[in-house]
Amino acid sequence: MAARNMLWVGLVLLGVLGTQANDPNSAQPHFLIDKFLGPWYSVGLASNASWFLEKKNTLSMCKTTVVPSGDGGLNLTSTFLRKNQCETRVVLLQPTAHPGQYTYHSPHWGSVHSVSVVETNYEEYAMLFSKGLDGPHQDFRMASLYSRTQTPKAELKEDFAAFCKSQGLTEDTIVFLPQPDKCINEQE
Binding-site size for ligand NAG (CB under 6 A) equals: 13
DSSP per-residue codes, 136-186: GGTT-EEEEEEESSSS--HHHHHHHHHHHHHTT--GGGEEEPPPPSSSSST
- Give the pairing type, strands 125-132 and 111-120: antiparallel
Q: Count other C-beta atoms under 10 Å from residue 172's C-beta.
A: 10
- What's at 7, amino acid-wise? L
Nearer to ligand NAG, 94 or 156 (CB): 94
Nearer to ligand NAG, 117 or 143 (CB): 143
Catalytic-residue membership of 62: yes
Which residues, 14 to 53, sit near ligand NAG by CB under 6 A?
48-50
Task: Supply the minimum distance, in Å, between the C-beta of residue 65 and ligand NAG.
Answer: 5
Using an 8 Å Cβ cutoff, are 42 and 64 in contact? yes
67 binds ligand NAG (CB under 6 A): yes
Task: Supply the minimum distance, in Å, between the C-beta of residue 69 and ligand NAG.
Answer: 5
Q: Which stretch binds ligand NAG (CB under 6 A): 22-30, 69-77, 102-110, 116-124?
A: 69-77
168 binds ligand NAG (CB under 6 A): yes
141 binds ligand NAG (CB under 6 A): yes
Run of H or E including 86: strand 85-95
